[in-house]
């Protein structure tokens, strides 16, 4: 479970690297002036991180943006989706939302999770318990994975589908890989901590020994509403 940002609920897409950038003018291209990333250190608008190259002549002629001008954004929910959600997906997410409501009752961020087996039968359901259990790993997905593995008597959850109301964080996405989960369905995206589309794509990382399909955005508004209400209440109480 990706941890919702303090003071606000997830939503939207984070834009990486904040400075505004503009394409070089034609004279700059003609004279071979360096782009933002190639210029002297301290030049305004230079991007950090990824390798960049000066725009080609074709880019200048066509008016295409240079490497420094392109804005990097997190993948959208549609990029994660592997097909439209089914009625089973919606019903399972409704159960996960019920679990999210239970988390809020004991002061935990309202995130819930359920796991169905390959036949659509309920294997496990859980919700955030990090605060009440003082457990750094007490995310809804991790707890549900433990319950499901205990029920079937094996750590491999091949063929199972995990439903969670918020995009999983890196820890939870890694747990899904290790559990050999069959499929992931989540509700709201988490642009600040999500690891299956927003910040990372651990579910499709070819360097890992397991990959799984992901469907995003199922009942996302209902999940987002719960998160926003939770943090509004905390702010009103002076806790955030």
Q: Which residues are catalytic?
A: 141
| Contact in structure between 50 and 35 (CB atoms under 8 Å) | no
Sheet containing 161-166: order of strands: 122-127, 112-116, 161-166, 183-188, 214-215
Which residues, listed in sequence order, are joined to residue 185 by a DSSP beta bridge?
163, 215
CA 179-185-189 angle, to 5 degrees, is 110
| Three-state SS at 182 | coil
Is residue 67 a contact partner of residue 53, using CB atoms and an 8 Å limit?
A: yes
- As a whole number of angstroms, the distance between CA 14 and CA 199 comes to 9
Query: What does the alpha-carbon distance between residue 218 and residue 188 come to, in Å, rounded to a whole number?
Result: 8
Q: Distance between CA atoms of 224 and 111, rounded to whole angstroms? A: 10
Residue 203: exposed, middle, or buried by beta-carbon count in 10 A (0-12, 13-18, 19+)?
A: buried
With vertex at residue 195, the alpha carbon angle to CA 193 and CA 196, rounded to the nearest 5 degrees, is 135
Query: Cβ neighbours of residue 208 under 8 Å, at least 6 residues apart?
Result: 177, 202
């Amino acid at each position: 479970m990706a941890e919702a940002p303090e003071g606000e609920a997830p939503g939207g897409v984070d834009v990486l690297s904040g400075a505004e950038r503009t394409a070089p003018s034609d004279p700059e291209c003609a004279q071979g002036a360096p782009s933002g990333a190639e210029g002297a250190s301290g030049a305004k608008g230079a991007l950090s991180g990824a390798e960049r190259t000066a725009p080609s002549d074709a880019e200048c002629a066509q008016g295409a943006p240079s490497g420094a001008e392109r804005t990097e954004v997190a993948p959208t929910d549609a990029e994660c989706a592997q097909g439209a959600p089914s009625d089973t997906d919606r019903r399972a997410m409704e159960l996960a939302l019920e679990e999210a409501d239970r988390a809020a009752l004991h002061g935990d961020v309202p995130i819930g999770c359920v796991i169905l087996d390959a036949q659509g039968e309920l294997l496990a359901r859980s919700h955030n318990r990090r605060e009440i259990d003082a457990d750094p790993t007490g995310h809804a997905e991790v707890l549900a994975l433990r319950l499901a593995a205990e029920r079937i008597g094996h750590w491999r959850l091949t063929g199972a589908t995990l439903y969670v109301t918020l995009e999983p964080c890196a820890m939870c996405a890694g747990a899904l890989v290790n559990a050999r989960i069959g499929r992931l369905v989540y509700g709201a995206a988490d642009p600040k901590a999500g690891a299956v589309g927003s910040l990372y794509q651990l579910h499709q990382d070819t360097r890992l020994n397991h990959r799984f399909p992901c469907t995003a955005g199922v009942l996302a508004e209902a999940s987002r509403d719960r998160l926003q209400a939770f943090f509004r209440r905390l702010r009103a109480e002076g806790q955030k």
